[in-house]
Amino acid sequence: MELPMKRTAFFISDGTGITAEALGRSLLAQFEGIQFEQITQPYINTEEKAHAIVEQVNATAIKDGARPLLIDTVVNQSIRTIISKSEALNIDVFSSFLEPLEEELKTRSTYSVGQSHGISKAKEDTYKARIDSVHFALDNDDGARTHHYDKADIILIGVSRCGKTPTCIYMALQFGVRAANYPITEDDLLDSELPKALRPYRHKLFGLTIEPERLSSIRNERRANSSYASLKQCLREVEEVEALYSRHNIGFVDSTHYSIEEISTKIMAKAGIERRFSPR
């Protein structure tokens, strides 16, 4: 029995990559006899990152013995120019899709609508992994069950109400990431060291921060006119938690002006966390 062909496909974006990935996966699903290794690279928003992607694509071309497919939603022209020089079939999602794929893969596509959403063993496995990841996020919310941190892909830390819980749940639901979170309390901020429960997992930590004014507004919805929600308290906590990140060289993102989708993909890109499956 002849084994299916194998090719590598890159989904590249200067944003979250969700559009490029969704469109790319739908297109590639039309070629049922070919197995694709699919690699998503979001936030390719500098020339330095673009050059790095070109190196990765070119190395893949040598390894595979066939040029990769590169499907992108990059808007910046200078970045597009760099990417276009890679040893890949470069497909702009705003151009014609299926014709160049048919030419490159030397086969006609099935043109079947919704092919990427068919029921299969792989889909069943993805569903189970999604549920398991969501359960993990819920079981390890707000510092619960810290003895399970050895099983976490990432542990989000930050002050109360900065967006840790919804971000963990989104990463679990959409990408199968085992994400725990730990709230940095006032008592934690009195010590220059990391909380004891986090010290063995320094390599898994990633921080969230938020503008104090926004934090105060969110906390007032929960405890109106409390010292917990006061701007003075929020200013102090944010300043001290960012100092903690700096002392321990912990990467972090500001959640103030971004959606959960954007926060999640930024974290995963910066922390180098692999997606276990594509978003729904």
| Integer CA distances (angstroms), 206 to 86, 142, 267, in order | 32, 14, 8
For 109, list phi and psi in degrees, rounded to 5.
-80, 160
> Does 234 count as an annotated binding residue?
no
> Does 84 count as an annotated binding residue?
no
| DSSP strand pairing (89-92 vs 154-158) | unpaired
Distance CA 222, CA 45 (A): 37
Dihedral sign from CA coordinates of 141, 143, 146, 150: positive
> Does 109 count as an annotated binding residue?
no
Strand partners, 3: none
**Helix H or strand E segment including 171:** helix 164-175
Strand partners, 156: 181, 206
**Helix H or strand E segment including 102:** helix 98-105
Contact 194, 244 (CB under 8 A): yes
> Does 65 count as an annotated binding residue?
no
Q: Which residue has the tokens 């969230």?
A: 208
Distance CA 178, CA 169 (A): 9
**Helix H or strand E segment including 62:** helix 47-64
Q: What is the amino acid identity at position 26? A: S
Distance CA 98, CA 30 (A): 9
Contact 22, 37 (CB under 8 A): no
Q: Which residues are annotated as a binding site for ADP?
A: 158-165
Q: Which residues are annotated as a binding site?
A: 158-165
